[in-house]
A and B are shown apart, each in its own frame.
Chain A
Amino acid sequence: MTSLDRRLRELRGSRRALVPYFVGGLTKDWSQYVHGAILAGADAVEVGVPFSDPMMDGPVIQEGALRALRAGATLESICHEVASSAFDAPIVIMTYYNVLHHFGLARAAELLATSGISGVIVPDLALEESDAWRDVATPLDVATVLMVAPSTPLARVRRIGAASQGFVYAAARMAVTGRASDVGDAERVVSAIRSTTDLATYVGIGITTPEQARDAAQFSDGVIVGSAIVQQILNGADTTAIEAQIASFRRALD
């Protein structure tokens, strides 16, 4: 069991988790957004490491990734920023497999661990291909969070639930990241996951408003909010505005 597993299990006793997503390197002061989010009630933060071909992301996060790449963001620069920021909440990196693969799996795991990063979400790393990465990450206490989709049959949910670390990412809908008007199939997906594992289960993909977050929190352990926040930053929102947005999600969950 990784430290992230334990931390998020403990949290379950007190409140629903709020996990906002920020694109690493999107702005010069991106780590200030993360500090602000934690102050406003985020329980863990997903930090995106941009990739040129983000096949699981919709237009908002694609745009964020493109801007961050143009500004020179890399796995190393983002990890160094995390390491020097000493955030007061677990940080989970969200990136695509080629970024880790190209850096070298063992070297990447080492970099994440020494930067104080608790886990990773790698949406294009399917369970069947994940052994090589987990073999180097797990011993360094870097959790590999796996995703369950509405299309995942129960037998696969069981295998994913058994292999996931930290939490299980419940994809609310058959879609890439982006804004949506409801919580989709999330309840069915969460219930399938819960029948197979007692890991914390967080709902993401399309959580856009505090009302949707409240809906999802009725049947899950927490929510992941990405595009709705990144859109505000792309529009030029400052840290105060983002803190206010995070606080409104916090209030909806409590």
Chain B
Amino acid sequence: MTQRPIYMGPPDDGGHFGSFGGRFVPEALMPACLELDDAFRDAWRDPAFVSEYRETLHEFGGRPTPITYLGRLSQHLGIEIYAKREDLAHTGSHKINNVVGQALLTKRMGKRRVIAETGAGQHGVATATAAARLGLDCTVYMGEVDTVRQALNVFRMELLGATVVPVTSGSRTLKDAVNEALREWVTCVDDTHYCIGSVMGPHPFPWMVREFQSIIGTEAAQQLRERGVGTPDFVVACVGGGSNAAGVFAGFANSDAALVGVEAAGGSAVGLGSPGVLHGMRSLLLQDDSGQIEEASSISAGLDYPGIGPEHAHLAELGRARYVRAGDDVVIAALQLLSELEGIIPALESAHAVAWLCAVAGTEVPLGSTVLLNLSGRGDKDVAQVRSILRGES
């Protein structure tokens, strides 16, 4: 009898998923990473912590989020699509699941402050929100370019009591915000937790963030069972660093569902990258011939990252999940389609998953297939950008 492998279990003690992951940080940060690893293992085993995490996400975060059958889109594409509505969670995306977990853990470790990086501002806003709720100080590092592009989100974070620091080094975007947050963390690690926004960074972050996000997949699996849908044929999610995808995949990794991550064509670490070490992890990265990290470029700031979480690199290598690409042009059309047919304006990030389905319904996704689509966030933050694109202004 052959045993099926168990997918998406914990990493090894050093935080490796196969040959990916690990801890590549300056010695000054190693004790903090080791401490965090212990603290998370301890908390995640503690029923009181888990219950406080779940209760906070229920009372404050709006969980469980519903599953919505997308009837008109399903008819349009000839497949059966169920959407997991992370767009309805507090702050407008799945990001709240992770930040509530990390903010509670920060308090449990006796630290009084969180720092975070942000690209478009979604994770920054979510972190500022959780920090306000739990009475923690909060500083968010944001590339100077992004502070201009997303000025309203800067203001949101400030309303929530956070300090936003524009990052002027390097390309002045998300990857530089991560560098700067890591540099800052070295100086204040005694009383400050670095609340990383995706399934990336040094161990235990990729694993811990996946665990905090796995509530998406656990809920969705139960909701689909209760509706009599059972296991879908496909589970589809957009991937930048990959936290919403990791969260939803976790609920189906050991089922028969095919797992599909949709990367932005201009930030496709699995499709175009190669193994490398950045931001504390070994993963797949966009890099040049000399191992210098390249800029990602996408219409969606949330997918504008030259790497991917190490567990995704591992799932790709194993062939358990497949990673595909959607370009900027089809993403806008998908956003319009979902808005018009279903009354849901998705985030540009989430629209990548919709765009892939539109492209392959009837081919790679056979007619009549059942699909769970993770709608990771809502599009309110993107409407000004989409308007200017549709008007031909940018």
Chain B nearest CB: distance from A202 CB in Å?
A: 15
Residues of A within 8 A of B278 (CB): 53, 98
Distance between A183 CB and nearest chain B CB, rounded to angstroms: 16
List of B residues within 8 angstroms of A96 by Cβ = 277
The reply to whether A102 and B291 contact each other, CB–CB distance below 8 Å, is yes
Residues of chain B from 139 to 182 with CB closer than 8 A to chain A in the complex: 169-170, 175-176, 179, 182
- B292 touching A51 by the CB < 8 A rule? yes
Q: Given the interface contacts A69-B292, A176-B183, does A98 sit within 8 Å of B28 by beta carbon?
A: no
Q: A53-B175, A53-B179, A175-B187 are in contact. Are A147 and B27 (CB under 8 A)?
A: yes
Contact with B along A97-120 (1 / 0, CB 8 A): 111011100000000000000000
Contacts of A147 in B (CB 8 A): 26-28
- Asked if A174 lies at the interface with its beta carbon under 8 angstroms from chain B, I say yes
Q: In whole angstroms, how far apart are the Cα atoms of A151 and B27 in the complex?
A: 8
Stretch among A13-21, A122-130, A224-232 lining the B interface: A122-130
Q: Any chain B CB within 8 A of the CB of A7?
A: no
Residue in B26, B27, B275 whose CB lies within 8 Å of A55:
B26
Give min CB distance, B186 to chain A, whole Å.
6
Q: Does B258 contact A (CB under 8 A)?
A: no
Is A222 close to B, CB under 8 A?
Answer: no
Chain A residue numbers with a CB within 8 Å of B189 are: 151, 174
Which of A39-47, A56-64, A85-93, A208-216 interfaces with chain B? A56-64
- Please tell me which stretch of A28-36, A152-160, A245-253 contacts chain B, meaning at least 4 of its Cβ atoms lie within 8 angstroms of it: A152-160
Chain B, residue nearest A54 (CB):
B179
- The contact of A175 among B24, B186, B292, by CB within 8 Å, is B186
Contact A150 B277 (CB under 8 A): no
Query: What total of chain A residues lie within 8 Å of the partner, measured CB to CB?
Result: 41
* A195 at the binding interface (Cβ < 8 Å): no
Can you list, as one digit per residue, whether each of B188-226 has a CB less than 8 Å from chain A (1) or not (0)?
110000000000000000000000000000000000000
B291-A174 in contact (CB<8A): no
- Complex contact B277–A101 (CB within 8 A): yes
The smallest C-beta distance from B61 to any residue of chain A, in angstroms, reads 32
Residues of A within 8 A of B287 (CB): 98, 102
- Kindly supply a per-residue 1/0 record for chain B positions 289-310, scoring 1 wherever the CB is within 8 Å of any chain A CB and 0 otherwise: 0111100000000000000000
Judge whether B30 is part of the interface by a CB distance below 8 angstroms: yes
Residue of A nearest to B33 (CB): A126
A126 and B27 contact, Cβ closer than 8 Å, known pairs A55-B182, A176-B186 = yes
Interface size class of B (residues with CB under 8 A): 35 or more
- Bound together, the chains give a CA A156 to CA B24 distance in angstroms of 16
A140 within 8 A of B: no
User: How close is A192's CB to chain B, nearest CB, in angstroms?
Assistant: 12
Closest Cβ neighbor of A122 among chain B residues: B24
With the chains together, A174 CA to B188 CA distance in Å? 8
List residues of chain A with CB within 8 A of the CB of B28: 147, 149-152, 171, 174
A164 to chain B, nearest CB (A): 11
Q: Does B280 contact A (CB under 8 A)?
A: yes
Once the chains are docked, how many angstroms separate the CA of A229 from the CA of B22?
34
Interface flag for B32 (CB, 8 Å): yes
Assembly CA distance A139 to B297 (angstroms): 42
A74 touches B290 (CB 8 A): yes
Asked whether A126 lies within 8 Å of B30 as measured between CB atoms, the reply is yes
> Binary interface profile of A, 154-182, with partner B (CB < 8 Å = 1, else 0)?
00100010000000000100111000000
Query: Given A75-B290, A151-B31, do A55 and B14 touch, yes or no (CB 8 Å)?
Result: no
A129 touches B290 (CB 8 A): no
- B23 proximal to A (CB < 8 A): yes
Verify if B276 is at the interface (C-beta below 8 Å from A).
yes
**In the complex, what residues of B have CB within 8 A of residue A75's CB?**
290-291
A residues near B170, Cβ cutoff 8 Å:
52-53, 62, 66
Residues of A with C-beta under 8 A to B24: 97, 124-126, 129
B112 at the interface (CB under 8 A from A): no
Closest to B184 in A: A176
Any chain B CB within 8 A of the CB of A137? Answer: no
**Bound complex: CA of A98 vs CA of B276, how far in Å?**
6
Q: Across the two chains, which residue of chain B brings its CB closest to A56?
A: B26
B27, B275, B293: which contacts A53 (Cβ < 8 A)? B293
Across the interface, do A152 and B276 meet the contact criterion of CB distance under 8 Å? no
Tell me the bound Cα distance from A156 to B28 in angstroms: 12
B25: interface (CB < 8 Å): yes
Residue contact A97 to B277, C-beta cutoff 8 Å: yes
**Cβ–Cβ contact A99 & B291, under 8 A:** yes
Instruction: List A contacts of B322 (CB < 8 A).
Output: none
- Point out the residue from A54, A74, A153 that lies within 8 Å of B31, measured CB to CB: A153
Of residues 279 through 337 on chain B, the ones whose CB sits less than 8 Å from some CB of chain A are 279-280, 282, 285, 287, 290-293
Q: Give chain A residues whose Cβ lies under 8 Å from the Cβ of B14.
A: 128-129
Q: Any chain B CB within 8 A of the CB of A148?
A: yes
Interface residue? A37 (CB, 8 A): no
11 examples of A-B residue contacts, CB within 8 angstroms: A52-B170, A53-B278, A55-B25, A96-B277, A101-B277, A124-B280, A126-B24, A126-B26, A127-B30, A128-B14, A128-B23
10 additional contacts (CB under 8 A) given A149-B26, A152-B31: A51-B292, A52-B292, A53-B179, A55-B179, A98-B287, A101-B277, A129-B14, A152-B28, A152-B30, A174-B186
Q: Which residues on A are within 8 Å of B, measured CB to CB?
A: 51-56, 58-59, 62, 66, 69, 74-75, 96-99, 101-103, 123-129, 146-153, 156, 160, 171, 174-176
- Name the 7 nearest CB pairs between A and B, nearest first: A102-B291, A149-B28, A52-B292, A98-B277, A147-B27, A52-B293, A149-B27
